[in-house]
């Protein structure tokens, strides 16, 4: 198990080093972060039955519809809701903003 994790980390590092896009926002990573950190409160993928639930925080598709990327970035630079000790790095915020922007 830990060997697989180590190997995955090594592959990810190699890809990051090899990719000329490494410094750019990565919407796929944003989706992964969203599923991990945001899906407990938000509908992150814009689909499925949960999208029909009228209460609760806005879905990411709704957010994409009324916040532009700069507004989303500004919002995410502070904690909100009851978000537990979640300190996002600038790169993570950029990835999330890229993912949310793609739902538009």
User: Which residue, 2 or 77, is less far from ligand HEC as judged by CB?
Assistant: 77
Is the Cβ–Cβ distance between 94 and 73 less than 8 Å? yes
Q: To 5 degrees, how large is the angle CA 64–CA 67–CA 69? A: 85
Is the Cβ–Cβ distance between 76 and 93 less than 8 Å? yes
Span from 3-11, 12-20, 21-29, 68-76 in contact with ligand HEC (CB under 6 A): 68-76
Minimum distance of ligand HEC from residue 47's CB (angstroms): 17
Span from 6-14, 19-27, 45-53, 70-78 in contact with ligand HEC (CB under 6 A): 70-78
Residue 64 sits in the site that holds ligand HEC (CB under 6 A): no
Helix (H) or strand (E) holding 49: none
User: Which residue, 6 or 65, is less far from ligand HEC as judged by CB?
Assistant: 65
User: Interface mask (CB under 6 A) for ligand HEC, residues 18-57, using x and -?
Assistant: ----------------x--xx-xxx--------------x
Nearest-angstrom CA–CA distance, 56 and 101? 21
Closest alpha carbon to 37 in 48, 103, 15, 95 = 95
């Amino acid at each position: 198990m830990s060997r697989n994790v180590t190997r995955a980390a090594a592959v990810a590092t190699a890809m990051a080093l090899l990719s000329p896009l490494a410094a750019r926002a990565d919407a796929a990573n944003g989706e992964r972060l969203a599923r991990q950190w945001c899906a407990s409160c938000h509908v992150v993928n814009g689909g499925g039955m949960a999208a029909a639930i009228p209460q609760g925080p806005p879905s990411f598709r709704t957010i994409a519809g009324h916040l532009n990327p700069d507004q989303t970035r500004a919002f995410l630079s502070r904690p909100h809701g009851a978000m537990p000790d979640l300190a996002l790095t600038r790169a993570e915020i950029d990835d999330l903003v890229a993912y949310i922007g793609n739902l538009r």
